[in-house]
Structure 1
Amino acid sequence: MPSSVSIGSSGEFSRLLSSSTIVIADFYADWCGPCKTIAPTYESLAAKYSKPNKITFTKVNVDSQQEIAQKYGVRAMPTFMIFRSGSTINTIRGADVRGLTNAVEAAVKMAGAAGPSYSSVGRTLGGPAPRASLSRGFNLKGIIDAIIGFLGLYFISLFSFDAYVAAENSPFNIHKSGQGNVAMTRGGKGEKRSGAATQVGKKLGTIADLADKY
């Protein structure tokens, strides 16, 4: 099966010039001897280099497509014209095998260099997600705030008569809320304190606790 496209109308040829980066056109006639001689070479190049929407080889019969032949000034057969992005970049007249081959190979290189290349790693469907940067998860400000909060609760509860209430009412208490567990203080009054404040008081102790012990 031939790899070249036999052009049936000027509209078809125009669409190919718009959709394909490189278009090679072979203007021929059925009665042309040299056209038949070089035809195998042309089909071999077409089979080797054709790429959909990238490199397209066409055959234009000058007798049935006179409008196209006249538009591009074809007066001798065979005539090979090479288009890039719709504009003519090279013309080879006659059954010049070497000239045609060199021109086609040069056009193929142009098609390969037409688009920019990207070296970044892509992602595939179902593939692993890219690893997040370690620096993104490292929050220095959060660590500093935690240290300041801990030291603040420690010193407030240490120098207070009632560590529980002091810790709960401290501005450093991140769990401070309007509702919590009700506990009895030394004064006998029911006071609300959070679980977090209770844990701090139990772990660190206060000067008042030491006085009761001794």
Structure 2
Amino acid sequence: MLKKAERVEFIQRRLQELYPETPIPLDHSDPYTLLIAVLLSAQCTDERVNQVTPALFARADNPKDMAALDVEEIRSIIRPCGLSPQKSKAIKKLSEILLEEHQGQVPADMEALERLPGVGHKTASVVMAQAFGVPAFPVDTHIHRLAQRWGLSNGRSVLQTERDLKRLFPKENWNRLHLQIIFYGREFCSARGCDGRVCEICRTCYPNRKHPKKTHKP
């Protein structure tokens, strides 16, 4: 079994080899459209969001136009993403708040983002990292699961996983690693595709692991 420092070094090197480019999975044109896309991605696949947002952004791709839409119209467009009653209300309300409090701009401020309806810590972290280039380590279900399988965190909570990863990896790598781990999890170490003994990174980090790695859900 590799020591933790060795696992960290190997994981960074292998992910960089596999994913030297890290395109943002959600289609967007600016911080506002990214914010809406990330909000829609809660309990929904990126692919589905990318299928839905063109119609939504054709109607409104800025806070002013979105705030002018009826909640039911927003809901009818985003229904395939799931949770449409809550998401449609949040999208309209946060657009109104951006107009009233932020001159129609998405704030590059973690606390201000987290105060917006429908925007939790993970969503705010994604926007800070991907829209503004501020180092963050948003933890989704893939990252939470893989951090446990690779012995980087005990996975007691998403916030604990985030703290552990931030401590282990250099700050300048956080934004890239966030996407690289997601890409790897989807391709090689999914919930059903690997149990901690199948994929290359799991086998390299824990070559003697005999039993499936049980992971705590977020």
What is the TM-score normalised by the length of structure 1? 0.22
Relative contact order (C-alpha < 8 Å, sep 6+): which is higher?
2
**Going by fraction, where is strand more abundant, 1 or 2?**
1
More helix by share: 2
Q: Tell me the TM-score normalised to structure 2 length.
A: 0.21
Greater gyration radius: 1
